[in-house]
Amino acid sequence: MSTKPILGILLGDSSGVGPELVAKLAASNFYQNYCRPVIIGDIRILNQALSIIHADAPLTSIDKVADADWSKGTPVLDQRDQDPDQVIVGQASTYCGAAVYNALKVAAKLFKDGDIEGFCFAPFNKAALKMGGCGFESEHYLLADIFGCADQPFGEINVVDNLWTSRTTSHVPIKEVSDHLTVDSVLRAELLCYNTLKQAGYENPRLGVAALNPHAGENGLCGREEIDVIIPAIEKAKEIGINADGPYPSDTLFIKAFRGDFDCVVTMFHDQGQIALKLKSFDQGITIAGGMPAPIVTCSHGTAYDIAGKGIANTSSFENAIKMASQMAISSRSKKNDSTFSA
């Protein structure tokens, strides 16, 4: 009997490239190298995607995970909630958003019930998700609510190759970043990195923390955020056993990080890390829903509405997402009682 983890594979937004990505990996038997996949979505959408990419894959429709038999093909937990004729390719819609919202809730429940060990979702449109009935700011807030961990550090962690990054602030204007930086907010970002890296099997994660100002503030000449906020947050992290160091000027920090000095970089704002990662490897990046009890991973790119339906989407990022979710699921089996820290 296979010991590979059972992972849910969500189709993503049916009007984007998500179903094509899922179909390509099913047709190439990629999943079976890393996990026992259970595709969650409407099997009609998946069959349409197989037609688009001019490929075939043995699929079996199931009503519950317990019915999965991977020797007969890739199981599809058929949601029966999308008619391909109702999907407008390349356009965000309530119809597709509602299916994504349903799939996320189904996958989370399956994990809570012990039926799957994690899940990967193909890209979807956040506006469509809200149009489809999700009242939360993003999927991260939705999942944190479902899992009951909204009071703990959670959010996006971006990964390229072996380098992870988390950010203290995210989608806020640059002029407001400093106002959002507190000792607690920086510490939460450090905790998020540490706990998620431990979940992925890192024994003693090494965190490099970015400065906000030029030259790391130059002893207050270029700003005091390093002195008043970032350094105290690093010291607090060290006090509870987290291997954090910094703050480092952001124009040199990623040189150190990419040569292997750190496992994760904690940045102060969105583009401080994203520019470096996307310059390094735009097509390979993945996003982890950090802070969740379940391994949840997706590709770092979006729905690619402009090429949807053409069968030309690159699967590299989604492949990496599958690999990471599988790695985290296996690690989680042996680390259920390992130490993590709370905010």
Together in a domain, 145 and 5:
yes
Whether the bond into 247 is cis, omega within 30 of 0: yes
Together in a domain, 186 and 250:
yes
Measure the CA–CA gap between 331 and 229, rounded to whole angstroms: 34
Together in a domain, 263 and 343:
no
Task: Name the amino acid, one letter, at 314.
Answer: N
Cα separation values, 90 from 17, 55, 65, Å: 9, 21, 31
Where are any strands of DSSP class E within the chain?
6-10, 36-41, 59-62, 74-78, 119-121, 155-160, 163-167, 206-210, 243-248, 264-267, 286-290, 296-299
Together in a domain, 247 and 144:
no
State the total domains in the chain. Answer: 2
Does residue 138 sit within a domain? Answer: yes
Does residue 64 sit within a domain? Answer: yes
pLDDT for residue 337: 47
Q: Name the packing angle between helices 139-147 and 94-112 (round to 10°).
A: 30
Does residue 157 sit within a domain? Answer: no
For residues 240 and 198, the answer to whether their CB atoms sit within 8 Å is no
Together in a domain, 37 and 57:
yes
pLDDT for residue 336: 61
Together in a domain, 33 and 61:
yes
Does residue 96 sit within a domain? Answer: yes
Together in a domain, 9 and 72:
yes
Taking only the tens of pLDDT, the chain with its 343 residues reads: 679 999 999 999 999 999 999 999 999 999 999 999 999 999 999 999 999 999 999 999 999 999 999 999 999 999 999 999 999 999 999 999 999 999 999 999 999 999 999 999 999 999 999 999 999 999 999 999 999 999 999 999 999 988 999 999 988 999 999 999 999 999 999 999 999 999 999 999 999 999 999 999 999 999 999 999 999 999 999 999 999 999 999 999 999 999 999 999 999 999 999 999 989 887 899 999 999 999 999 999 999 999 999 999 999 999 999 999 999 999 998 766 455 555 5
Together in a domain, 24 and 128:
yes
Together in a domain, 101 and 241:
no
Pairing of strands 286-290, 155-160: antiparallel
For residue 73 the two structure tokens come to 């093909």
Count Cβ atoms below 10 Å from residue 204 Cβ, excluding itself: 11
Together in a domain, 4 and 138:
yes
CATH at 116: 3.40.718.10
Q: In 3D, which of 148, 149, 182 has the Cα closest to residue 168?
A: 182
Query: Domain residues for 85?
Result: 1-152+287-343
